[in-house]
Amino acid sequence: MPVNAPKYVQEEMQAWGEFAVEGHFRRKSPVVAVSRKYYALICKLVGAKESEVVAMNTLTVNLHLLMVSFYRPTKTRFKILIEENSFPSDKYAVDSQAQFHGFDASIAVVELKPRTGETTLRQDDIENKLKNWAIHWP
């Protein structure tokens, strides 16, 4: 746990107790202002105008929304590649989407781990895994 985490959690609890939902707007560091602070960076990342971008939800919710929109598995193309030891809620989102579509997550979700002695995945390893799957698809 980060050293300052208890302090920050207590500050959040106090703001929640004092302002409730109005804390999004009225507290020392309004949540709304924090998210707006990053709009320019988000716009640059996705190639959009500030009027076209909104920061919302949590990463897990956004993963679910992304997968509900784009994950269209078939009986022969259903696997999902994720890095080994990913954040538990990310893994949960991926597993639950596979299960939602009727697949066994232990088969549908494939975890790719870094090479021995390394801590991050290499792009080549990801591409090779995907190419290997493509060879076997009809």
Span 10-45, pLDDT tens digits: 988 888 888 887 877 777 776 666 667 788 888 998
- Within this chain, do residues 74 and 125 fall inside the same structural domain, yes or no? yes
Residue-level pLDDT at 136: 65
DSSP state of 19: H
Residue span of the structural domain in which 10 resides: 5-52
Residue 43 amino acid letter? C
Whether the pLDDT of residue 66 is over 70: the answer is yes
Q: What is the pTM of this model?
A: 0.60
Would you call 129 exposed, middle or buried from its count of C-beta atoms within 10 A (0-12, 13-18, 19+)?
A: middle
The tokens for 8 are 């920050």
Where residue 138 falls among pLDDT bands split at 50, 70, 90? low
- Mark which of 14, 34, 52 sits at the end of a domain: 52
Where residue 69 falls among pLDDT bands split at 50, 70, 90? very high
Geometric angle at alpha carbon 56, from 110 and 59, rounded to 5°: 20
Q: In the beta sheet, which residues pair with residue 83? A: 112
> pLDDT (tens digit, 9 = 90+) per residue, 101-110?
999 999 999 9
Average of per-residue pLDDT across 65-86: 92
Where residue 70 falls among pLDDT bands split at 50, 70, 90? very high
Count how many domains the chain has.
2
Q: Is pLDDT larger for residue 56 or for residue 130?
A: 130
Would you call 82 exposed, middle or buried from its count of C-beta atoms within 10 A (0-12, 13-18, 19+)?
A: middle
- Within this chain, do residues 24 and 88 fall inside the same structural domain, yes or no? no
Q: Is pLDDT larger for residue 119 or for residue 135?
A: 119
- Mark which of 31, 52, 73 sits at the end of a domain: 52
- Within this chain, do residues 18 and 83 fall inside the same structural domain, yes or no? no
Give the N- to C-terminal CA distance of the chain in Å, as an integer: 48
